[in-house]
Structure 1
Amino acid sequence: MNPAPRPAPHSRPASALPSRRGLLGGLVAGAALAATPALASSARAAARPAPAPAPRATRPLLLGTYTSEGGGGTGIGTAAYDTGTGAITPGPVITGVENPSYLALHPSGATVYAVAEQEAGAVTAVSIAPDGTYEVLGSRPTGGSGTTHLSVHPSGRRLLSANYGSGSVAVHPIAEDGSLGERTDLVTHGSPPPGPGQGGPHAHQIVTAPDGGHILAVDLGTDTVYTYALDEAAGTLTEVSRATLAPGSGPRHLAFHPGGRFAYLACELDNSLVVCAYDPATGALTPGPGQPTGTGSGTSYPSQPVVTGDGAYVYLANRGHNSLTRYAVEDDGAAVRLLDTVPVGGDWPRQLALSPDGSLLFAANQRSATVTVFGVGPDGSLTAAGDPFPAPVAVCVLPLA
């Protein structure tokens, strides 16, 4: 979500989607026999065709959308992507899930969770069977409105969610089968006061720090990142620190460097990326100066940063500019250097995701109702891979291993 009004969505093609694995195979024909054993062996060797190239692997891809908007989807889209080319093949839709605008996977890989971004916010669990079939396990209310983000605690025992409309964060227990229990905590961001024109607190993201010891909640309305300690047994949050950004900056999403001591924070209202130092001992986040996005002086509404697995590059999606910014990471994560921007190939890139092996970058483009795919080069450069994939009101893409 963002505080700026959105235009009415365009009419979109319906989404339909894949099997979880693509398989190729073939048989090699036998060769004719010669009159003697030696000649027969030679004839068989000569007749044997060259080995066929190894089949390309395909992997599952899940797609988040809005089911309540005209031209939107009818549930969570499923698809398969080619790990070599990035080509996406559509598959069936997981119905019975309302406004699944953000998705997160359980560490076991057996359950995916979706927000219900609506007035009465909720979170839904969907099981993923080994054969690739899916089953909706049920939903639980979050106690807030406009649930816009969620993540699974590394223990796999708690689901964390952020309610944009009400400016609150919630915790739910996760059962052994991946289903959700009743909410164990709800914390509303009552202070500091919202920034200019930001209309109250708006929790936009909740994540666990790499050390596993603290939970960070990014609030766009109060220009603050709150740090909590999670009581894993009780499922409750206790605030331990907060980082205040410049008034009116509108912090939206952050991504950690794999070293765990720095995070990169997208501020959508002042068009900046902020490098923040993180102290695992205290949970304190210390923002540095905002870095330019390379999109000029216009409003670009940056939405989400992602960091490569080796920590060498950061990518940032710019919605107003319809581009992706590439930064080089320097000083062991403490600094970034703007390298370039490339067109995203769609309209309003709301969310980014790297494939598990880091070779592909996916962008969910909300207003053009497409997913675009880029190959990631050894130097972090991005190369468009194929044509945009049509997906109704695409607002989240989740590539699976």
Structure 2
Amino acid sequence: MSYLASTTCAADGTITTFVLDGEDLTPKATSPIGKGVSAMAVDHSGRRAYVSLKEPTGVATIDLDQQSGTWTTSSHRELPSHPSYLRVSDDGGLLLGADYGAGLGLVWPIQDDGSLGEPTDRISFERLHCVIQHDQFVYFVSLGEDLVACYRLTEDGQLEALADHTVACPAGSGPRHAITSTDGRNLYVVTEFSGEVLRFARDPKSGQIELVQQVTAHATDRGLKHSVIDEDPLENHYIWGADLHLAGPEGRWLLVSERTESTLAVLPVADDGTLADAVSLAEVSTQPRGFVVTPDEQHALVPGEKAAVLQLWRVDDRGRLAKVSEVPNEAGANWARITQP
């Protein structure tokens, strides 16, 4: 089965589209969208998405022509800053956003034409970097305050704080992106500054989480130092963790990217969600900020912010990574998403 894959390319202000057919990756189209295009959330139809822009600042609604592979802008929601993460709610009626610069978590209603209405609710924490949903629960990750904020999302787009609605991460770790396990009993967070994965045990009924494990997810033999907020990670050779996704049958592997050494680590995941030390580490597209696991759960599509290519990597049954395809890409690619055929 073939799919369309898209990458946002901030430096060129474009979205590039590719056909993914097994392990064959073929460029299809390049669409001009706007300066600094980055975070991308595809809706449930696979033919509409929401992207963050620096100019004009805000969130654009874009529509896909599946035959040509081109994206076109249908509306724009102006904001004082550009969100670092976007997610369409499970019911498809809301867009959730984490705005790093403004320190805001936002909920917008999605109108019938795909445009965004006035926010139904908002929260505030320093340097919010991610928002995810599992069932009726929503989790915002604050890099600036080293915490995960936990809410129940109502049908009308309100955020109701849980009893223990802020859960601390290790001080100075810089929590960045998060995902939940399929069964909802674990929540995983990659840290930007310490290059770890934090595992939180999660109660599916209450939505509450508890930090239970920390596992290293970066190259430990290359002299990387713990990052310091607002200092240049490349100039100082600091750890620069970025993104994470589950792969393999029933989420057997956790893949984690680190940008300074441009690596993708593979951590085994036990049946109960416990993590083990990385079993493999591969050098991938230069500065891999965001990546995505393909629908077959056996491959990762990895763009790089400083790479002129898009790579496809296979994860074998022992957790080893092998590059199987590489094609040209536009500049500043920082996000990847896949739509249905």
- The TM-score range, normalised by the shorter chain, is 0.7 to 0.9
Query: What amino acid is aligned across from residue 387 of structure 1 in structure 2?
Result: E
How many percent identity over aligned positions?
A: 23
- Among 228, 238, 242, the alignment partner of 2:160 is 238
Q: CA RMSD in A?
A: 2.0
Q: Which amino acid aligns with 2:121?
A: D
* Cα drift, residue 121 of structure 1: 4.6
Q: Report the CA distance between 1:104 and its aligned residue.
A: 1.2
- 1:267 is matched with which residue? 191
Q: Which has the higher strand share?
A: 2
Code of the residue aligned with 1:280 in structure 2: it is P
List aligned pairs for 1:42-191, cutoff 5 A: 58-66=2-10, 72-81=11-20, 83-93=21-31, 95-117=32-54, 121-129=57-65, 131-132=67-68, 134-142=71-79, 144-189=80-125
Question: Are 2:254 and 2:266, in contact at CA under 8 Å, matched by a contact in 1?
Answer: yes
Q: 1:322 to 1:303 in 2, by over 3 A?
A: same
Residue in 1 that maps onto 2:171: 247
Tell me if the contact between 1:158 and 1:173 (Cα under 8 Å) persists in the aligned partners. Answer: yes
Equivalent position to 2:150, from 201, 220, 227: 227
Contact 2:40 2:52 in 1 (8 A): yes
C-alpha displacement of 1:62: 1.1
Q: Kindly tell me: are residues 310 and 324 of structure 1, through their superposed partners in 2, closer, same or farther at Cα, counting changes over 3 Å?
A: same
Aligned equivalents of 2:121, 2:264: Cα separation in 1: 36
Aligned-pair CA distance for 1:117: 4.1
Matched AA of 2:89:
H
Q: Which position in structure 1 is the counterpart of 2:235?
A: none
CA contact (8 A) 2:190 2:198 kept: yes
**Residue type of the alignment partner of 2:251:** G
1:159-190 residue CA offsets vs partner (Å, 9 max, x unmatched): 0011001211111111233332222222212x
For the structure 1 residues 97 and 291, does the alpha-carbon distance in structure 2 shift closer, same or farther, using more than 3 Å as the test? Answer: same
Question: How many residue pairs were aligned?
Answer: 321
Change (3 A) 1:329 1:247: same
TM norm structure 1: 0.75
Q: Judging changes above 3 Å, is the alpha-carbon distance between structure 1 residues 244 and 363 closer, same or farther for their aligned structure 2 residues? A: same
Unaligned runs of 5+ residues in structure 2 are 225-237
Tell me the SS of whatever aligns to 1:330.
coil
Rounded to whole Å, the distance in 2 between the matches of 1:289 and 1:280 is 18
Which secondary structure state, in structure 2, belongs to the residue aligned with residue 265 of structure 1?
Answer: strand
| Alpha carbons of structure 1 residues 251 and 117: separation in structure 2 relative to 1, 3 Å | farther
Residues 57-100 of structure 1, C-alpha deviation per residue, up to 9 Å, x if partnerless? 5421211122xxxxx2133222222x22232324131x344422
SS where residue 379 of structure 1 aligns?
Answer: coil
Q: 2:33 & 2:296 partners in 1: Cα distance?
A: 31
Deviation digits for residues 255-274 of structure 1, max 9, x if unmatched?
A: 21111100221011112111
Match of 2:291 in 1: 352
Structure 2 CA distance for aligned equivalents of residues 300 and 321 of structure 1: 8
Q: Secondary structure at the match of 1:64?
A: strand
Alignment-derived partner of residue 396 in structure 1: 335
2:211 to 280, 283, 287: 287
Note if contact 2:281-2:321 (Cα within 8 Å) is conserved in structure 1. Answer: no
**Is contact 1:111–1:126 with CA below 8 Å preserved after alignment?**
yes
Aligned to 2:283: 343
CA distance in structure 2 between the partners assigned to 1:98 and 1:138 by the alignment: 16
Q: What is the letter of the counterpart of residue 36 of structure 2?
A: N
Match in the other structure for 2:232: none
Q: Would the alpha carbon gap of residues 151 and 290 (structure 1) be closer, same or farther in structure 2, given more than 3 Å must change?
A: same
